[in-house]
A and B are shown apart, each in its own frame.
Chain A
Amino acid sequence: MTDEAGATVTPYDDGPLLVRGDFALVTPDGEPIETRRGTIALCRCGKSASKPFCDGTHKAIGFRTGRPDDAGPANPGPARRAAS
């Protein structure tokens, strides 16, 4: 996947950008931003409280990346919960 490029950036539907491979994340001043894992998720919805990283908030705000087949919020699935 990263044979040609040093790193890959993958935009996931309705979600963040995942960065894999050999990359450095830096501030506008060139200072390194610590990344604690090999694959990181960068915020794309603008609402993460952990920017530049994704913290899952895109789900809470219904962020959509606008695929052609988008028709609004996801439909509820059929899973149900027994009384507990």
Chain B
Amino acid sequence: MKLPSERGPASAALIDALRRPPHDLPDAPATRIGDDEDLQLVLYVCYELHYRGFDEVDDRWEWQPSVLRLRAAAEERFEAALRSRVAAHPPVPADAVPRALAALVAADDGPPLAAFLQRHATLEQFREFVVHRSVYHLKEADPHTWGIPRLGGRAKAALVEIQADEYGGGRADRMHAELFRTLMAGLGLDPTYGAHVDAVPAVTLATGNVISMFGLNRRLRGALLGHLAAFEMTSSLPNRRYGNGLRRLGAAPATTRFFDEHVEADAVHEQIAAVDLCGSFVAAEPDQAAEVLFGAGCALALDGAAAAHLLDRWRSAPLRAEAA
């Protein structure tokens, strides 16, 4: 993919440096991190070096120490914001983890984005929703995959069971990221990896960055698994609404398949994630219970904020607040 456009002092300094051979980034103030747009873009670019990289960037930048220092500073700020935003959950025993996750999800009062897309959204609004989601879904499942080598036993088997299904069970055309590309093409959107990063705000970048942060820092492995569980537990019902909304707008079955697939797939995954993955993980590492629930809370808070951003943009539409 192409390098995105800068959003502030640190992202400008980073993107400028990446166009040249690996070298030490200049120190502050050039790399002082600005507002949330700057922060989230810095994180996005630093993380992308670990995924597919950028067309014009030397692959050796991935482990360049000054880039890692900048990433650490950005992560410190992002994590501190999340710790103050998502209340610490009291620890629970392993066998209570699935119920505690279900309670968090049930108590979440996220904005009614799915109901709006099902009943009211125009085709243009639906396309905008898909553009926003593309930043994560074109690499769907990849950030959680970082967790696999950090686990053992039943928890590892559970994560592999989920991820194998995310990747189509060995069939490229069934990979969820590929189904998303088909969805994008069906809506006349550019399905190229990374094509829409410049079009989405920090609040959207944060939904993917948080998984990369949890995935790339072993100490945050509990939060990574809790994030995945919350993600899967809040997927089946909204995806049915997304699919119905797209059918209302006249989309072909191939175009709605991404959503239809997730109704069934995530009804499976949510059980595996809550019970076999998070429950087994906490049984093996009891001191990680609160971290699992923190990760779940982060998923709910950040996905809710990104959904609220879109709904706010569409406020002029005939929106009625209905339970999602």
What sequence of 0s and 1s flags, for each residue 303-319 of chain B, a beta carbon within 8 Å of any chain A beta carbon? 01100110000000000
* CB-contact partner of A81 in B174, B237, B272, B300, under 8 A: B300
Nearest CB of B to A53, in Å = 5
Verify if A68 is at the interface (C-beta below 8 Å from B): no
Nearest CB of A to B252, in Å = 19
Verify if B108 is at the interface (C-beta below 8 Å from A): yes
A81 and B89 contacting across the interface, CB-CB below 8 Å: no
Residues of A within 8 A of B100 (CB): 77
Query: Chain A interface secondary structure, helix, strand, loop or mixed?
Result: loop
* CB-contact partner of B161 in A14, A39, A49, A56, under 8 A: A39
Residues of A within 8 A of B41 (CB): none
Query: Chain B interface secondary structure, helix, strand, loop or mixed?
Result: helix
How many chain A residues touch B (CB < 8 A): the figure is 32
How many A-B pairs with Cβ below 8 Å?
A: 117
Verify if B203 is at the interface (C-beta below 8 Å from A): yes
A14 and B102 contacting across the interface, CB-CB below 8 Å: yes
Nearest CB of A to B189, in Å = 25
Q: How far is the CA of A53 from the CA of B323 in the complex (A)?
A: 24
Verify if B264 is at the interface (C-beta below 8 Å from A): yes
Residues of B within 8 A of A15 (CB): 270-271
Q: How far is the CA of A82 from the CA of B83 in the complex (A)?
A: 12
Q: How far is the CA of A19 from the CA of B305 in the complex (A)?
A: 36
A81 and B305 contacting across the interface, CB-CB below 8 Å: yes
What sequence of 0s and 1s flags, for each residue 240-268 of chain B, a beta carbon within 8 Å of any chain A beta carbon? 10000000000000000000010111111
B-to-A contact residues, CB < 8 Å: 85-90, 98-100, 102-110, 161, 164-165, 169, 174, 203, 233, 235-237, 240, 261, 263-268, 270-272, 275, 293, 296-297, 300-301, 304-305, 308-309
Could you list some 19 contacts between A and B, CB below 8 A?
A12-B275, A15-B270, A18-B271, A36-B174, A36-B264, A37-B165, A40-B264, A55-B264, A56-B240, A59-B102, A59-B237, A60-B237, A74-B106, A76-B106, A78-B89, A79-B108, A80-B86, A82-B301, A84-B305
